[in-house]
A and B are shown apart, each in its own frame.
Chain A
Amino acid sequence: AQKITQTQPGMFVQEKEAVTLDCTYDTSDPSYGLFWYKQPSSGEMIFLIYQGSYDQQNATEGRYSLNFQKARKSANLVISASQLGDSAMYFCAMREDFIRDDKIIFGKGTRLHILP
């Protein structure tokens, strides 16, 4: 079974609109972390935001916020006021703390296109 599911292979959004990228995860570990990464066409992976499973508040970093719904095992990324430079591939990822090796499991990604 997939540990990280991103159901939107691609999305088209008008510039300046808010964007929600979906991510659901599957774990029985009570302690885990959730990540979002951005990969522009140049190829480098850029860390955007992190949410720990015990964090009481949703994580925010500038225009990025993580809508964490623990009971639903959902960790959607919200980008406010989208910009052309947000066009990229976005990956949701999870680390399970029970496993000591600090591995991160990645979803298959969502390609976001921002339209002018």
Chain B
Amino acid sequence: DVKVTQSSRYLVKRTGEKVFLECVQDMDHENMFWYRQDPGLGLRLIYFSYDVKMKEKGDIPEGYSVSREKKERFSLILESASTNQTSMYLCASSPYRGPSYEQYFGPGTRLTVT
């Protein structure tokens, strides 16, 4: 069964802390994605990766960085968390040029920065 897992469902951090959000997929997918979801704004792409050690900026990369050292793991890093980064973070993966290229999502991490 297809599976994308995220390290935490809920996370509370303080302003200025360095935050790591981990995502692991067990489907041998090449592509991995990080989104944030805010009410009324839908899903916005932060970063994506289509291969190990490769990364591309999405629509809102400011304040974030990513790491992909292994194919199955894609980490999102908030270098210095701020309150405007309070959000739901969703990780997804997809096969490269698969039949429909649908993305498989993890359960999400609801991050609160105080």
A residues lining the B interface (CB < 8 Å): 9, 33, 35, 37, 42-45, 47, 50, 52, 91, 95, 101-109
B100 and A107 contact, CB distance less than 8 A:
no
Q: Does B64 contact A (CB under 8 A)?
A: no
Main secondary structure of the interface of A (DSSP, over half): loop
Contacts of B74 in A (CB 8 A): none
Interface hit among B15-23, B40-48, B78-86: B40-48
B residues lining the A interface (CB < 8 Å): 31, 33, 35, 40-45, 48, 50, 56, 58, 88, 90, 92, 94, 96-97, 100-108, 110
Selected contact of B41 from candidates A44, A45, A52, A108, CB within 8 Å: A108
Selected contact of A33 from candidates B33, B48, B101, CB within 8 Å: B101
A44 and B108 contact, CB distance less than 8 A:
yes
A9 CA to B102 CA, complexed, in Å: 24
Contacts of A107 in B (CB 8 A): 42
Known: A9-B40, A45-B92, A105-B45. 9 other contacts (CB 8 A): A33-B100, A44-B108, A47-B104, A101-B56, A102-B31, A102-B97, A103-B58, A106-B44, A109-B42
